[in-house]
Amino acid sequence: MTFKTEQEAFWQGSFGEKYIERNAGEQLLASNIAFFARSLRSAGALSSMIEFGANIGMNLQALKQLYPHAAQFGIEINETAARQLATVIPPDNVFQASLLDHEIADAFDLVLIKGVLIHINPDHLTTVYDSLHAATGRYLMIAEYYNPSPVSIPYRGHSDRLFKRDFCGEVLDRFDDLQLIDYGFSYHRDPCFPQDDINWFLLEKTR
């Protein structure tokens, strides 16, 4: 696989595989179920969903508990993670690809990106924004670290691997057919269902 950015190669490689080990388990699944039950409270029924950067499917597993009949799809750059994802959702619904290259032909009731935009090279964010928008049939959920202005911070000893900004604001400015219908914050010290200090935003496509 040929990559356009250093960040893509980083996540396809050994660091991406170590991420798998840190982000699994029953506690994370329980936290994710609580997270989506809260963050999707303003959404209606969902019959299809796709996650951009699905990893091994911990988010999709949680969503399956809430929407058991919804068809699920996922895009994942790391080969090892994509193989595990194919044990969670149908293998034909797994796209092992970079978000910068893969084109989605269909539209889905819910498009999800959670903890992924922060790792995209900022020069290529608009490519991902356009893909997210194109795939959105009704709802788009963005769940990322927030900062009012763009900033790069060290990430586990690496530079230029984690970027914070107002992702949702940039998406809203780019597409006038999206409107914000709900938002919130999840705290890493929540006594029952901790998340990773992420701000989440639920957008609805209006036409």
pLDDT in tens, 41-98: 999 899 999 999 999 999 999 999 999 999 999 999 999 999 999 999 999 999 999 9
HSE, side-chain direction, 13 A CA sphere, residue 14: 0
Alpha-helical runs (H) found in the chain: 6-12, 14-22, 26-39, 58-66, 79-85, 125-135, 167-174
CATH of domain 6-205: 3.40.50.150
Q: Beta strand pairing status for 178-186 and 108-114?
A: unpaired
Tens of pLDDT, residues 146-165 = 999 999 998 877 777 899 99
In whole angstroms, how far apart are CA 58 and each of 159, 167, 206? 27, 22, 29
